[in-house]
């Protein structure tokens, strides 16, 4: 098991390093100019380039950047939030995004599991049909559309919730965005749980358990759920990444100061902010790879067959 | 040794020995009749109510996207205007849906009271019916073009990687792994540094990300197929790798790939909508589903009717393609219980 973990972690780190390098080189050597050239003279730009170290060879720049990065220093933005270190801006944004994303994951997984299990236990009846329709709608309608409607009805028509995000009333004002973000997770988890459970309930070993006289909640809990829930970990992983990072539009609509909004600001303003793009790119990739790694390891712990297969492979 | 003498007595048929079978006596096994693979797939697909519903939705929206702007009397970027009594030009901005004599038409400038605006007009006075279908057209074109190119790239990549195996496969799969670990958003943002915002950016971003899924499926199918007898047979007959991969194995793996295409199209539409909403996609006066939703969102508190058409079209497209994809998947690999 230790070998498996070391191998996985090592691979993930190497992948991350390659991605950081590629991102850095792309951002540095691509045509374009990080400074608004119409507002600065050629001399000013040249000075600025020297100040930021852009006159050195790319590889030297990369080394300097990595040294700083390992100390947790992302540098400063080129046009966005002028002068403030990216690290400070980022930490606020990460906090906001993670809190709302985390809330959405909690709601989505809990309700999704509940719906899926209820549907599987009532297979072919009304509740099953309801769950199916619900999960289809949840998958087909983007989360920001839900948010637009929730915002329109519950903040504008009936002004109960705040219209925009308010960091002072954190929990209260994150209900609407978290709810709308959770719908996709909810419906995916519900659909997946239902299908997995139905499959397991039809399997031979459950029939055997039943014929031994195990029934009711005990059967479901000890024999069905255990095996049905393992694959759900795999579906959850990309969803979690999406929720922690991809709440772009939702953050824009609800005015949440999160990493998604920061990304939008960095790329959609008049000039693209190179350093923010780089920092956010690294953050996103690291999160993505980290969560995928966590799921891989978790899966190895949950399902012994994977571990055995990996051992034979190594 | 005596020769055996064969005596032949001539056979005289009697009535009743032979007779034509009547139609009722013939038993044809209709339950398990043999039929071509693709015919079976078609029958399965069309028996599935959901899949047919999805297909109908997709077809209707595609037809509307093609003919909707044509039957309208306004252009997609035309600002509808008229001359008022004072001789000044007024534009038809922010008119809710109206059909003269049927509904709407209250509080509208008198010049436009007799005009038809099925979905209303936007704030500057462009007809939303035309723009919605024009936008759907743009979104569909982007989705189809990118996904078909992605299919060709991903399929070839996966098939080649799986066929040759060994070192080739190893290197190609490491590349896939790295490409797969870069979130799509990061690719978009790096592209945004040096590409102008617009359709090109969306297409390139989709091209760079969507092929990965296809290549994985193609590779898996290749691994399943390459040890089979028919491949061995054509290799024995001297077929080259190229013709084995693309002439022999490709036709046998196309089913799952098509299914993946059906699931990728909604992803592409979704991504396009989201990029345009964020402001790095389609630029005015062009429009797409995403940019229309953004327009609608900006005016939602005052003119809520504007956001409905693009959202409904988007949701229906997602629904339709998902249903078709599900139906295809079931039809291509039917489980016993569905038979």
Low-confidence ranges of chain B (pLDDT < 70): 1-8, 25, 28-33, 78, 81-82, 87, 92-94, 100-114, 334-339
Cα separation, B327 vs B45, whole angstroms: 6
Q: What angle do CA A53, A57, A58 make, to 5 degrees?
A: 85
Cα separation, A4 vs B267, whole angstroms: 34
pLDDT one-digit tens code per residue, A196-254 = 888 888 888 888 888 888 777 777 777 787 777 777 877 887 788 777 665 777 887 88
Reading the block at residue B118, the tokens are: 């099925």
pLDDT one-digit tens code per residue, B285-318 = 778 888 888 888 877 777 777 788 888 888 888 8
β B81-83/B89-91 pair status: antiparallel
The answer to whether the Cβ–Cβ distance between B185 and A245 falls below 8 Å is yes
More confidently predicted of A194 and B13: A194
> What region, left, alpha or beta, does residue B296 occupy, with left being phi > 0 and alpha being psi -120 to 50 degrees?
alpha
Cα separation, B217 vs B223, whole angstroms: 10
Tell whether B301 is within 8 A of chain A (Cβ): yes
Q: Is A94 exposed, middle or buried (0-12, 13-18, 19+ CB in 10 A)?
A: middle
More confidently predicted of B200 and A55: B200
Q: What share of chain B is helix, strand, coil (3-state, %, to 5)?
A: 65, 5, 30
Interface test with A, best of B190, B213, B337 (most A CBs within 10 A): B190
Kindly report the number of other CB atoms within 10 A of residue A97's CB atom: 24
Within its chain, how far is the Cα of A202 from the centroid? Answer: 34
The answer to whether the Cβ–Cβ distance between B178 and A19 falls below 8 Å is yes
The answer to whether the Cβ–Cβ distance between B192 and A277 falls below 8 Å is yes
Where in chain B are the domains? 57-64+132-338, 79-125
**pLDDT over 90, % of chain A:** 0
- Rounded to the nearest integer, the mean pLDDT of chain A is 78
The answer to whether the Cβ–Cβ distance between A285 and B186 falls below 8 Å is yes
DSSP letters, B180-241, are HTS-HHHHHHHHHHHS-SSHHHHHHHHHHHHHHHHHHHHHHHHHHHTTSHHHHHHHHTT--H
Question: How many Cα atoms are found within 13 Å in the side-chain-facing hemisphere of B169?
Answer: 14
Contact A276, B190 (CB under 8 A): no
Q: State yes or no: ipTM above 0.95.
A: no
What is the mean pLDDT of the segment spanning A32-61?
A: 68
To the nearest whole Å, the CA of A279 is away from the closest chain B CA by 10
Taking CA atoms, what residue in A is nearest to B182? A285
What CATH number was assigned to the domain covering residues B57-64+132-338?
Answer: 1.10.3720.10
The answer to whether the Cβ–Cβ distance between A32 and B193 falls below 8 Å is yes
Q: Is B94 exposed, middle or buried (0-12, 13-18, 19+ CB in 10 A)?
A: middle
Cα separation, B157 vs B213, whole angstroms: 11
Interface test with A, best of B183, B272, B324 (most A CBs within 10 A): B183
pLDDT in the model for residue B56: 92
DSSP bridge pairs for B90: B82
The answer to whether the Cβ–Cβ distance between B301 and A152 falls below 8 Å is yes
Query: Which residues of A touch chain B, with CB atoms under 8 Å apart?
Result: 15-16, 18-19, 22-23, 26-27, 30-32, 136, 139-142, 144-145, 148, 152, 156, 241, 245-246, 248-249, 252-253, 263-264, 266-268, 272, 274, 277, 280-281, 284-285, 288-289, 292
pLDDT in the model for residue A195: 84
Cα separation, B135 vs B148, whole angstroms: 20
pLDDT in the model for residue B332: 79
pLDDT in the model for residue B67: 86
> Is the predicted pLDDT of residue A61 greater than 50, yes or no?
yes
Contact B278, A248 (CB under 8 A): yes
Tell whether B273 is within 8 A of chain A (Cβ): yes
To the nearest whole Å, the CA of A27 is away from the closest chain B CA by 7
Tell whether B312 is within 8 A of chain A (Cβ): no
The answer to whether the Cβ–Cβ distance between A140 and B193 falls below 8 Å is no
The answer to whether the Cβ–Cβ distance between A142 and B314 falls below 8 Å is yes
pLDDT in the model for residue A305: 66
pLDDT in the model for residue B336: 47
Interface test with A, best of B53, B181, B269 (most A CBs within 10 A): B181
> Is the predicted pLDDT of residue A19 greater than 80, yes or no?
yes
Query: Which one-letter DSSP state was computed for residue B305?
Result: G
pTM for the full predicted model: 0.78
pLDDT in the model for residue B6: 65
pLDDT in the model for residue A234: 75
A105's enclosing H/E stretch is: helix A86-121
The minimal CB distance from B181 to the residues A139, A280, A285 is found for A285
Chain pair A-B, CB pairs under 8 angstroms: 104
Tell whether B186 is within 8 A of chain A (Cβ): yes
The minimal CB distance from A136 to the residues B270, B280, B319 is found for B319
pLDDT in the model for residue B60: 92
The answer to whether the Cβ–Cβ distance between B280 and A268 falls below 8 Å is yes
> What region, left, alpha or beta, does residue B59 occupy, with left being phi > 0 and alpha being psi -120 to 50 degrees?
alpha
Cα separation, A138 vs B209, whole angstroms: 24
pLDDT one-digit tens code per residue, B45-65 = 888 888 888 899 999 989 988
The minimal CB distance from A152 to the residues B193, B194, B300 is found for B300
pLDDT one-digit tens code per residue, A257-274 = 888 878 877 776 666 677
Residue entry with tokens 């024995």: B236
* Coil vs helix vs strand at B98: strand
pLDDT in the model for residue A313: 43
pLDDT in the model for residue B337: 46
To the nearest whole Å, the CA of A155 is away from the closest chain B CA by 11
Compute chain A's Rg from CA coordinates: 24
pLDDT one-digit tens code per residue, A135-182 = 888 888 888 888 888 888 887 777 777 777 776 777 777 788 888 888
Cα separation, A16 vs A19, whole angstroms: 5
Domains of chain A (ranges, CATH numbers): 86-313 (1.10.3720.10)
Q: What angle do CA A24, A30, A36 make, to 5 degrees?
A: 100
The answer to whether the Cβ–Cβ distance between A140 and B304 falls below 8 Å is no
Q: Is A299 exposed, middle or buried (0-12, 13-18, 19+ CB in 10 A)?
A: middle
Reading the block at residue B149, the tokens are: 């190119």
Long-range contacts (CB closer than 8 Å, 24 or more residues apart) made by B79-86: B79/B124, B79/B125, B79/B126, B80/B112, B80/B115, B80/B121, B80/B125, B80/B126, B80/B127, B81/B125, B82/B111, B82/B112, B83/B111, B84/B109, B84/B111
Contact B202, B272 (CB under 8 A): yes
From the list A217, A219, A187, A192, the residue with the least C-alpha distance to A203 is A219
Residues of chain A with Cβ-Cβ distance to B274 below 8 Å are: 142, 144, 248-249
The minimal CB distance from B194 to the residues A30, A249, A288 is found for A30
Tell whether B315 is within 8 A of chain A (Cβ): yes
To the nearest whole Å, the CA of A7 is away from the closest chain B CA by 15
DSSP letters, A192-254, are HHHHHHHHHHTSHHHHHHHHTT--HHHHIIIIIIHHHHHHHHHHHHHHHHHHHH--HHHHHHH
Residues of chain B with Cβ-Cβ distance to A155 below 8 Å are: none
The minimal CB distance from A141 to the residues B188, B277, B315 is found for B315
Contact B266, B321 (CB under 8 A): yes
To the nearest whole Å, the CA of A302 is away from the closest chain B CA by 24
The answer to whether the Cβ–Cβ distance between B181 and A145 falls below 8 Å is no
Cα separation, A177 vs A260, whole angstroms: 13
B90's enclosing H/E stretch is: strand B89-91
């Amino acid at each position: 098991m230790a070998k498996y973990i070391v191998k996985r972690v090592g691979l993930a780190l190497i992948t991350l390093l390659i991605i950081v390098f590629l991102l850095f080189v792309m951002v540095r050597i691509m045509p374009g100019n990080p400074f608004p050239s119409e507002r600065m003279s050629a001399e000013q730009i040249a000075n600025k380039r020297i100040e930021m170290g852009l006159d050195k060879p790319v590889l030297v720049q990369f080394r300097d950047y990595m040294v700083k990065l390992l100390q947790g220093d992302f540098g400063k933005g080129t046009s966005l939030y002028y002068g403030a270190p990216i690290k400070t801006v980022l930490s606020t944004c990460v906090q906001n995004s993670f809190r709302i994303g985390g809330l959405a994951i909690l709601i989505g997984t809990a309700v999704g599991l509940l719906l899926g299990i209820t549907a599987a236990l009532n297979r072919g009846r009304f509740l099953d049909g309801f769950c199916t329709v619900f999960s289809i709608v949840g998958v087909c309608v983007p989360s920001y559309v839900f948010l637009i409607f929730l915002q329109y009805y519950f903040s504008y028509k009936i002004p109960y919730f705040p219209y925009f995000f308010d960091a002072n009333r954190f929990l209260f004002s994150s209900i609407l965005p978290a709810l709308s973000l959770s719908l996709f997770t909810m419906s995916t988890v519900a659909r997946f749980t239902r299908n997995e459970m139905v499959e397991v309930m039809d399997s031979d070993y459950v029939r055997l358990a039943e014929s031994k006289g195990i029934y009711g909640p005990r059967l479901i809990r000890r024999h069905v759920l255990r095996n049905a829930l393992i694959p759900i970990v795999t579906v959850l992983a990309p969803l979690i990444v999406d929720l922690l990072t991809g709440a772009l539009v939702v953050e824009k609509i609800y005015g949440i100061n999160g990493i998604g909004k920061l990304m939008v600001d960095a790329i959609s303003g008049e000039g693209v902010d190179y350093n923010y793009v780089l920092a956010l790119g690294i953050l996103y990739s690291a999160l993505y790879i980290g969560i995928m790694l966590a799921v891989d390891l978790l899966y190895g712990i949950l399902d012994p067959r994977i571990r055995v297969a990996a051992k034979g492979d190594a | 040794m005596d020769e055996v003498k064969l005596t032949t007595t001539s056979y005289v048929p009697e009535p009743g020995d032979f007779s034509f079978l009547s139609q009722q006596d013939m038993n044809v096994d209709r339950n398990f009749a043999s039929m071509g693979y693709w015919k079976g797939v078609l029958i399965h697909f069309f028996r599935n109510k959901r899949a047919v519903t999805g297909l109908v939705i997709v077809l209707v929206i595609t037809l509307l996207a093609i003919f909707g702007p044509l039957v309208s009397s306004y252009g997609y970027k035309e600002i509808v205007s008229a001359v008022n009594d004072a001789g000044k030009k007024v534009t038809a901005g922010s008119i809710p849906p109206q059909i003269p004599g049927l509904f709407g038409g209250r509080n509208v400038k008198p010049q436009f009271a007799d005009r038809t605006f099925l979905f209303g007009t936007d704030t500057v006075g462009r007809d939303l019916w035309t723009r919605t279908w024009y936008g759907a057209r743009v979104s569909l074109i982007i989705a189809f073009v990118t996904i078909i190119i992605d299919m060709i790239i991903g399929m070839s990549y996966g098939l080649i990687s799986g066929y040759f195996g060994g070192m080739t496969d190893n290197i190609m799969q490491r590349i896939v792994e790295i490409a797969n670990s870069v979130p799509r958003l990061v690719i978009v943002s790096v592209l945004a540094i040096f590409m102008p915002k617009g359709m090109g950016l969306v297409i390139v971003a989709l091209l760079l990300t969507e092929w990965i899924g296809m290549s994985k499926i193609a590779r898996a199918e290749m691994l399943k197929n390459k040890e089979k007898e028919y491949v061995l047979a054509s290799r024995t007959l001297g077929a080259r790798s190229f013709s084995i991969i693309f002439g022999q194995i490709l036709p046998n793996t196309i089913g799952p790939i098509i299914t993946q295409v059906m699931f990728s199209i909604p992803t592409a539409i979704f991504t396009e909508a989201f990029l345009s909403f964020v402001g790095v996609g389609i630029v005015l006066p062009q429009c797409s589903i995403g940019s229309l939703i953004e327009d609608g969102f900006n005016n939602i508190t005052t003119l809520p009717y504007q956001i409905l058409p693009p959202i409904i079209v988007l949701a229906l497209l997602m629904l339709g393609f998902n249903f078709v994809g599900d139906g295809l998947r079931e039809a291509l690999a039917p489980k016993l219980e569905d038979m």
